[in-house]
Structure 1
Amino acid sequence: MPSTSAPRGKLILAGIIFAFLWASASAGTKVGLSAVQPFVLFVPRFFMAATIMLFISHVLLKKRLPKGKEWRQVAIYGLFNISLYLGIYVVGMTEVSAGLGALAAATNPVFISLLSTIWLRRPLRPVTVVSLLLCLAGIGVAAWPLMADSYATPWGLSMVLLSMVAYSIGSIYFSGRVWTDLHIFTINGWQTLFGGIFLLPLMAAWYQPGLNHFNLTWLLATLWLVIPVSIIAVLLWLYLLKDNPVNASFWLFLCPIFGFGISAALMGEPLSLYTLASVVLVVAGLYLVQRARKKS
């Protein structure tokens, strides 16, 4: 992948590691859900990740706090990007396989493209519709045999897709706001903290002691979701975006491949020709929308 500023080798390595870590989030979530309830897995994760990022931002880097309307902006961003996106996602993942969850998450750029068109009241381009249809077809092809083998349910898949819509709305909201010199660690730290706070009442309301086992499985899953996924993968993503935002998005193509591979290795989930067809369809949809974005 060519670069104009960073060495190509470093970019390729960063892209591969990012795709692997990002795709591993679904498997890490499924492992954690075998020990605790959905919100019990994710809410502590949010507070841990927020604490680390805010420590780096305000203590190590000496960056300023948000001020004025920036507090409202990070809170709204946290509502969509953390509370709604990941809150709905983790609930859906209780009835969706890790591989299918990773496949669905990879379609985010297509949903963002579609919702951006609607949000900005622009004419709907055929390439956006075709990309969405290809991605949805890919998810459907992957889901069909998994539903038959009880690895997924229509309700779980619907929740995961709904979470992608919430994420897309959050991304559009973020890109439309003025953040001046507010550091990215500050934004991410506070939006993650607000997102966790918004989910606390739901965690408390649905908490059932007998369904939660704070064992080694829970601890390892939580630490994996906090450090490699929420912090390292995000830093690598920002590094790729800084070099070339359009090229960075192409690394998302690897996420479905890594996602199914990780889920098969760790969770014993089946791989078949349906899996291959689904990845091809989703990657084709992503390619079309990214190529259109690159041209524009």
Structure 2
Amino acid sequence: MNIKELLIGILFTVLYASGAVVMKFGIHSAPPLTLSTIRFIIAGILLLFYLYVFHKGKYPLPNRREFKVLFWLGLLNTSIFLGFGLLALKTVSSGIFNLFIPINPFLFALLALIFMKQTIRLREWGGMVVAFIGLFVATYPLLSGSHSSIQGILLIVFAMIAMAVGSLIYKKVDLQLPTIVVNTWQVIIGGVILLIPTLILESGEPVTIDFHFIGYLLWSVFVLSIFNVNLWFYLLKKDAIKANNWLLLNPVAGYILAAIFLGEPITLYAVIGTVVVLLGLYISGSFGVKSSKNSTANIKEA
């Protein structure tokens, strides 16, 4: 790995972890589902313009069968995963949210075992157990304080399950579409689906157009949903497995950013829990996603 790839990997990790932090600022001005819906629809429209206007004729339109799959990916990977995840941020620290992200490969492996009859090696089982112990160590003390709630933790768990199911569908169906096309359509579809719960649950809630609101949209749309996705594709093109390893640093970057910008405490439990989670991932051999195809279904818009 040369210095350029190293710097790009670090930048990707920091920007990816910043998603939960910037959402904390955004909810000062608008409810989370409203923010998410606006973000995904704007990002989706811009990406559609990029694919089919700026690069007209280069990228294919999905057929009817592919649209059915993209609907489920948009529902699971965008609407439910990020919708539940951002709702959780109302009662969960951004550091804890980022700590859960690298656990997705474990859930994917369990679902693959159940529905695709894929085997899980003993070391992978061991890694899962160790990682979940680390999650417990990091989250349990915060439940008695003001930084996390059991409801928020459960929302994150449901979000992770949705993401794992989306990964399973993506792998099983084997879409013959460029990854950027898949990500573009699941972003716009997910944003449109989110309109329904947003109107039901948050209709009438105040929205303040201020620095926090504008800053959240600019950062999440242009920096996260567009710029950081391109960094991800660059890393995947160089080496898919090394690219996924950058996600293992997500909790570290998340805790540091949360401490700097939100004043969230970095407790001894958080440090120990994060180390144990990373140890579990190491023991398992980072077995989660072994190819760029499985990866890109879920990393698009943290």
Alignment TM-score, normalising by the size of structure 2: 0.89
**Residue aligned with 2:89, SS:** helix
2:124 and 2:285 in contact (8 A); partners too: no
State the 1:128 CA deviation. 2.8
2:178 is the counterpart of 1:186: no
Change beyond 3 A, Cα 1:294–1:252: closer
Where 1:258 maps in the other structure, the secondary structure is helix
Question: Quick check: 2:93–2:147 contact (8 Å CA) kept in 1?
Answer: yes
Counterpart of 1:95? 91
Aligned with 1:69: secondary structure? helix
Q: Deviations over 1:214-261 (max 9, x none)?
A: 221011112211122222222212221222221211111211110000
Change (3 A) 1:164 1:61: same
1:257 and 1:279 in contact (8 A); partners too:
yes
Q: Which residue of 1 aligns with 2:31?
A: 37
| Structural mapping, 1:240-255, within 5 Å | 240-255=235-250
Q: 1:273 to 1:166 in 2, by over 3 A?
A: same
Distance in 2 separating the partners of 1:85 and 1:295? 21
| Residue number among 278, 284, 287 corresponding to 2:282 in the alignment | 287
Corresponding residue for 1:5?
none
Distance 2:205 2:45 in 1: 28
1:163 is paired with a residue whose SS is helix
Contact 2:88/2:153, CA 8 A, preserved across alignment: yes
In structure 1, runs of 5+ residues without a counterpart are 3-7
The yes-or-no answer on 1:172 pairing with 2:168 is yes
| Uncovered stretches (5+) of structure 2, i.e. residues with no partner | 292-302
Aligned partner of 1:135 among 131, 135, 142:
131
SS in 2 for 1:121: coil
Preserved CA contact (<8 Å) 2:108 2:167: yes
Deviations 1:167-217 (A, max 9, x none): 11111211222332x333322111111111111111111124344322210
Q: In structure 2, the residue corresponding to 1:149 is in which secondary structure?
A: coil
For residues 240 and 290 of structure 2, the distance between their equivalents in structure 1, rounded to whole angstroms, comes to 13
Q: Match of 1:52? A: 46
Which of 12, 18, 21 is the matching residue for 1:18?
12
Call closer, same or farther: CA 1:245–1:288 in 2, change over 3 Å.
farther
Q: For 1:161 and 1:120, how far apart are their aligned partners in 2?
A: 22
Q: CA offset at residue 262 of structure 1?
A: 0.4
Identical-residue share of aligned pairs (%): 30
Matches within 5 A, 1:231-242: 231-242=226-237
Counterpart check, 1:111 vs 2:107? yes
Which of 214, 221, 226 pairs up with 1:219?
214
Change in Cα spacing, 1:242 to 1:279, as seen in structure 2 (3 Å) is: same
* Cα distance in 2, alignment partners of residues 42 and 155 from structure 1: 20
Task: Give 3-state SS (helix, strand or coil) of 2:218's partner.
Answer: helix
When the two chains are superposed, the root-mean-square deviation of aligned CA atoms in Å is 2.0
Q: Residue 292 of structure 1: CA displacement?
A: 4.6
| 1:117 positional shift | 2.3
> Residue 105 of structure 2 contacts residue 289 of structure 2 at CA under 8 Å; is this kept in 1?
no
SS in 1 for 2:191: helix
When normalised by structure 1's length, the TM-score is 0.91
Shift of the 136–294 alpha-carbon distance from structure 1 to 2, 3 Å rule, reads: closer
Whether the 8 Å contact between 1:25 and 1:229 is mirrored in structure 2 is: yes
Cα offset, 1:291, TM superposition: 4.5
Q: CA deviation at 1:25?
A: 0.8
Report the equivalent of 2:70: 74
Residues in 2 aligned to 1:46 and 1:294: alpha-carbon distance in whole angstroms: 25
Q: Deviations over 1:108-140 (max 9, x none)?
A: 222222222222113343233222222222222
CA distance in 2, matches of 1:13, 1:196: 32
Conservation of the 8 A alpha-carbon contact between 1:132 and 1:285: yes
Decide whether aligned partners of structure 1 residues 293 and 84 sit closer, same or farther in structure 2, where only a CA change above 3 A counts. Answer: closer
Who is 2:79 aligned against? Answer: 83
- Hey, what's the Cα distance between the residues in 2 that align with 1:38 and 1:294? 29
Q: 2: distance between equivalents of 1:88 and 1:64?
A: 31
- Matched residues, number: 289
